[in-house]
Amino acid sequence: MSVQFFTEYPIWFILFCLAAGAGYAFLLYGQGHNILFDKNQKLWTWIIAGIRFFFVSIIAFLLLNPLLKYISSKVEKPILVLAIDNSESIINSSDSAIYRKKLTDFFENFQTQIGDEIKVQPYLFGDKPEVKDRPDFNAKQTDISSLFAEVNNVYSGSNVGGMVLISDGIYNKGTNPVYASKNTRFPVFTVGLGDTVTKKDLKISNIRTNSIAYLNNTFPAIIDVQADKCAGQTYILTVLNGENKVFESRINASSMSDFKSVTVDLEASKLGVIHYSAILTNLKDEVTWFNNRRDFFIEVIDARQKVLIAARSPHPDISAIRQAIESNKNYQVEVDMTGNPSLDKAKEFDLVILHQLPVGNNNLPLIEGLKAKKIPLLFVLGRQINLSLFNSLKVGLTFNQTGGGYNQTTGIINQDFNLFETTDALKSNVPYFPPFSVAFGNFSFKDKTQIMVYQQIGSVKTDQPLIYFNDNDNNRYGFFTGEGFWRWRLIDFDRNNNHEVSNDLICKSIQYLVARNDKRKFRVYAVENTFYENEPVQFNAEYYNQSYELVNKPEVKLTLTNEKGKNYTYNFSRTTNAYKLDAGIMAPGTYNYLARVINGGNSEIAKGLLIVKPLQLEHIETKANHDLLKQLSSSTGGKFVPFTELDKLAELIKKHGTVKPVMYEQKDYRDLIHQKWVFFLILFLISAEWFIRKRNGTY
């Protein structure tokens, strides 16, 4: 460690400090000013004059605000990330036992092989990167791109010297790993697992179908079949509904790499979830039979709900709202641009969206008629609407306009909103969405908790609604108090590369408005209707007392029943005033659930159904992709190593020379005046002067 000092002023200012000390000493102890009793003790005079000179000079120097700079050197060990593919595809081959043992041993002992000079950070990756004690090869998907994102985020400021990536190169989730590694500043040493030779394999590579069908309709399922090295052989494709055969076709593989798409027309003959299985013949000498079967589920519903958008003139909001609604197959949308559709037509819809209506008295009979029929309404306010007529409708929201101007108003999610669930993605995106155009003035409403999005004007957060819902006179109404939703949809795509946030906002709003008024005291619902087998199955529950107040004192139990009749029982845990349950990972299939709550002598039950879909992605591709691994290594400056040379990897990395320690200087600045030794030095000098003078006969 080295120490330097400097001041805020030029260094030659020290001469003034020395001059001040010398002048002070001369005035006190110079010729004719000797204050010692013994005029012949000149040595002592010089000594105490020198002491006075030093401590006055030091005090003057401290006025220059001197700083001490401490410079120390620190050596940081290099980090080597060890990432092993933990997905099921690794142990699908005939060498699975060898891979399992050797990779487990390598994972546990690589730190010893590479030496203490390098810090090994182990990772396992499949669905996501994880830090675990040892690989188990149970992951249902492979996402290599998320591994690079994790390492780049966690170790952005650290000395990462390289990464060891051990995989078969097969990925089925996330982006291309080569693109994901573009911002990587360290070499990637890849180790190739699996066989790159195409082997005999018959597989269902994909099934394309809608997740929802409508009762008594016919819907297609397109089944893609890949046959490698099966030329001249005949196989059978069978589709089962439970145990019932609904389709069978005999197919001939005409080439060594034969691909066929088979379209199967299926009947939606009953309501509920229908479980289908597509099965191929198991041919002799196939590398695996796991990919000869795939299951898929179709939910059959009675009919779609119809939404009418009534408007007077074209507007980009109309198209944006329509596209958002049509993203949900449960809704059918129609647009009427006449400005005043007939009541006979409008009452056939489950929801009517009034875009900037009413504009005149001729709109009032339509709106009053819809109110009388208890048709839910969603109002979109804007520059064309007649706000006086709007106030006369008495729909639970009125507007007091002040002037004819408009505010540019952004949105802030209301954390107390509880009419329906708002996702984390919606909460995080809304503050960044562009402003709505909202008229100057104030809204009058009953309940702030029914405001979904507040207005924010510039940096000022208000209690005025931007998106608002209410239940007035036993009918539901929604309000967008300004125009500009189309901009939200554009920025949603710009930020997220999709329209999921804006679609979710509109679809959940419509779902709330068209839902029947639910007076049940006990409500239980799954977070999603469909889960994949690697996702935890989660539930929410609500219980209302006799006054319809939300409470959570009684215990709530839930029983899940699978297709074979096996039951799984769980207890809900309590949240602030409701309940939640994480049932964990479930096997693929359909499950009926029954929840029960007992409060005093009253018992309430809630029922439902959910689907757990299988993930068979890791069994589809049986040919390793070493070309991808070689490209990864080449683009990052690393090396590709076959699995047979795994034991040589540690030595190869050391010779490569990129995984090495980094020495850097650490600087620390401190004020000299805050150093204790300076205080004691000045105190010592002052005390020494006083003592000498006292000893020699003066004060």
pLDDT in tens, 465-491: 999 999 888 889 999 999 999 999 999
Rounded Cα distance between 74 and 96, Å, is 45
Q: Are residues 416 and 557 in the same domain?
A: no
Q: Are residues 281 and 135 in the same domain?
A: no
CATH of the domain at 345: 3.40.50.880
Rounded Cα distance between 684 and 699, Å, is 18
pLDDT the model gives residue 356: 95
* Assigned domain for 154 exists: yes
Rounded Cα distance between 199 and 207, Å, is 22
Contact 558, 593 (CB under 8 A): yes
Alpha helix (H) residue ranges in 279-361: 316-326, 343-346
* Assigned domain for 545 exists: yes
pLDDT at 37 over 50: no
Give the DSSP letter string of 415-443: TT--SS---HHHHHHGGGSPPEEEEEEEE
Residue at a domain's end among 493, 514, 535: 514
- Structurally, the chain folds into a number of domains equal to 5
pLDDT in tens, 545-578: 877 788 899 999 999 999 889 999 999 999 988 9
Q: Which range marks the domain in which residue 10 is found?
A: 2-72+669-695
Mean per-residue pLDDT, 289-312: 85
pLDDT in tens, 163-221: 999 998 889 888 899 998 888 889 999 999 888 888 888 999 889 988 778 777 888 99
pLDDT at 699 over 90: no
pLDDT the model gives residue 215: 77
Q: Are residues 228 and 269 in the same domain?
A: yes
* Assigned domain for 618 exists: no
Q: Are residues 605 and 676 in the same domain?
A: no
**Total count of residues recorded for the chain:** 699
Closest CA to 453 of 404, 419, 476, 490: 419
pLDDT in tens, 406-442: 999 999 999 988 888 888 899 999 999 999 999 999 9
pLDDT at 47 over 50: yes
For residue 49 the two structure tokens come to 């004059």
pLDDT in tens, 609-653: 888 888 777 777 778 889 999 999 999 999 999 988 888 888 898
- Describe the strand order of the beta sheet including 2-6 as a list of residue ranges: 2-6, 67-76, 662-671
Closest CA to 171 of 214, 207, 134, 140: 140
pLDDT the model gives residue 116: 86
| pLDDT > 70 fraction of the chain, expressed in percent and rounded | 96
Residue at a domain's end among 465, 480, 514: 514
Position with higher pLDDT, 98 vs 253: 253
pLDDT at 464 over 80: yes
Q: Are residues 376 and 508 in the same domain?
A: yes
pLDDT at 36 over 70: no
pLDDT at 664 over 80: no
Mean per-residue pLDDT, 447-472: 92
pLDDT in tens, 149-163: 999 999 888 888 899
Mean per-residue pLDDT, 358-383: 93
Mean per-residue pLDDT, 588-608: 88
CATH of the domain at 592: 2.60.40.1220
Mean pLDDT of the chain: 87
CA dihedral sign, ordered 509, 510, 513, 516:
negative
Mean per-residue pLDDT, 332-348: 92
